[in-house]
Amino acid sequence: MRALLISILTCSTLAHAQEAGPIPAGELAPIRAAVGRIHDDVLTRRETYKTLGDLCRVAPKRLSGSPGAAAAVEWARQTMIKLGLEKVHLEPCVVPHWTRGKVEVLKVLAPAEATGSLKILALGGSVPTPKAGLSAEVIAVTSFEELTRRAAEAKGKIVLFNRPFSATELSTFKGYGGAVGQRVRGASAAAQVGAVAAIVRSMTPNLDDVPHTGGMRYAPGVAKVPTAAVSTRGAERIAAWLKRGPVRLHLRLDCQTHADEKSFNVVGELTGRTLPDQILVVGGHLDAWDVGQGAHDCGAGCAQSMVALATLKRLGLRPRRTIRCVLFMNEENGLAGGRAYAKDHAKELPNHVLALESDRGGFTPRGFTTNANPAATAILRQLAGLLKSGGDRVIPGYGGADISPMKGAGVVQLGYLPDSQRYFDLHHTRIDTFDKVHWRELELGTAAMASVLYGVAELKQTLPRNPKKKAEKKAEKKAEKKQPGDGKAK
């Protein structure tokens, strides 16, 4: 009993030690109370889960430029109004419009004993094959260096990029980072050595038959060859056949790139109580790949961002500063929304205190990643230390793609970090659907985000900004010279 008591005492001392930091105890206490109320409310109302279910039903297919994306924009606008967000409006951006088409075939022609097709998805932005498809022998490589070394062998062939997603990295995002270059740059690397198409092993540590699509870029001035992702099991089979002899495949894709379309970021806010011109941004991306429902990527982040604000408003927790929810368009194949926001709000960015993105799925909270300076990190750690869910780590890292264009202006970036073990089971696949979302895991993320946002927005002191990048400073000086008196922020 006594041992238990001591250990309980030690635990609570530890908890308070974790909370020690630059925020004085008197200021922290009401924030701690608010964090408790936020968690209770979010976990009983289940509003994030309902909101995400709605999005997956109304606009499951919402790749930029599609009718589904337009439906998602209108849905988000109406939902923000319904949730009580303030100043709800749309901000325009121009997005690419690519469609997958109906035909996606990778047929095995040789070896003779291997019949049938392998599971593929065209990569977003790929050109189609000729109508009748193309047939060629395959060469498999695990790196761009290997491709360069075997350039002569690759001519006229289909290149399979088969570097596995590392299974040993505990963060699956690190595994992703180590493999995704093949998907993004593979087609042009293949074309440069005279190959006729590129197939890339799907971005997942799993061995299964689920292909993962994703973005790719053609290098300027290089011939565009068609490109698709093959399931990891498919890639393994090709590699095994190649050990015994030549492999010949037939690829047919009828995807198409259309004229650019007009689309929108959807914006709403909780206007600050006393410092409304100081702004915190929270968001995810509203677009999603066209094959599943984008439930985890990034419907979860969108629903969490909206409901975080709705919760604070309902609980009467209107903080000093404004919290603005931005649902960005076109993260998956262009980042037009993120760029448009940073550009159109350039004058306001010196008053942007923080940008938080949730784009790693709706799983159990583990913490946040940030590029914050040490003083801001200490504050964020102290606030995250109040979380009841255990998601209290604040570690150095990336904030998010959509908020990254604000980085140069010194806006501190914060990325919501849920458990990453299952994310790449689903990412960019047909199975990223609402039934894969667990309501408690999702809601705990909303509570974590709402708590930290509230804390930063309510602080007496402003979260210390990051130093501006040199390029930003130069551009600002230039603007000041051009328009004297107009370059200064209020």
Catalytic positions are 331
In order, the DSSP letters of 247-260 are -EEEEEE--EEEEE
- Cα–Cα distance between 191 and 216 in angstroms, integer? 14
Would you tell me how many other CB atoms lie within 10 Å of the CB of residue 409? 21
H or E, element range at 90 = strand 86-99
Would you tell me how many other CB atoms lie within 10 Å of the CB of residue 422? 18
- Cα–Cα distance between 51 and 301 in angstroms, integer? 11
Residue nearer to Zn ion on the CB measure, 62 or 157: 62
Residue nearer to Zn ion on the CB measure, 404 or 466: 404
Taking CB under 5 A as the binding criterion, the range among 97-105, 224-232, 354-362, 455-463 that sits at the site for Zn ion is 354-362
Would you tell me how many other CB atoms lie within 10 Å of the CB of residue 250? 17
Does 72 contact Zn ion by CB under 5 A? no
**Among positive and negative, which fits the CA dihedral 428, 79, 41, 388?**
positive
Taking CB under 5 A as the binding criterion, the range among 82-90, 193-201, 353-361, 441-449 that sits at the site for Zn ion is 353-361
Assigned token pair, 52: 């995400």
Residue nearer to Zn ion on the CB measure, 38 or 298: 298
**Residue 338 beta carbon to Zn ion: minimum distance, rounded to whole angstroms:** 11
Find the largest Cα–Cα distance for the chain: 79
Taking CB under 5 A as the binding criterion, the range among 20-28, 186-194, 357-365, 481-489 that sits at the site for Zn ion is 357-365
Residue nearer to Zn ion on the CB measure, 52 or 317: 52
H or E, element range at 305 = helix 300-314
Size of the residue set binding Zn ion (CB under 5 A): 3
Beta pairing, strands 117-118 & 275-285:
unpaired
Q: CB burial class (10 A; 0-12, 13-18, 19+) of residue 33?
A: exposed
- Cα–Cα distance between 159 and 369 in angstroms, integer? 36
Q: Of residues 272-311, which lie at the interface with Zn ion (CB under 5 A)?
A: 297-298
In order, the DSSP letters of 367-388 are EEEE---HHHHHHHHHHHTT-S
**Residue 331 beta carbon to Zn ion: minimum distance, rounded to whole angstroms:** 6
Would you tell me how many other CB atoms lie within 10 Å of the CB of residue 221? 7
**Residue 225 beta carbon to Zn ion: minimum distance, rounded to whole angstroms:** 26
Residue nearer to Zn ion on the CB measure, 211 or 234: 211
Cβ-contact 116, 108 below 8 angstroms = yes
**Residue 298 beta carbon to Zn ion: minimum distance, rounded to whole angstroms:** 4
**Residue 305 beta carbon to Zn ion: minimum distance, rounded to whole angstroms:** 13
Among 19, 47, 359, 432, binds Zn ion (CB under 5 A): 359
Q: CB burial class (10 A; 0-12, 13-18, 19+) of residue 475?
A: middle
SS3 category, 303? helix
**Among positive and negative, which fits the CA dihedral 198, 199, 204, 210?**
positive
Residue nearer to Zn ion on the CB measure, 272 or 294: 294
Residue nearer to Zn ion on the CB measure, 298 or 379: 298
**Residue 198 beta carbon to Zn ion: minimum distance, rounded to whole angstroms:** 23
Residues found near Zn ion in the complex (CB under 5 A): 297-298, 359
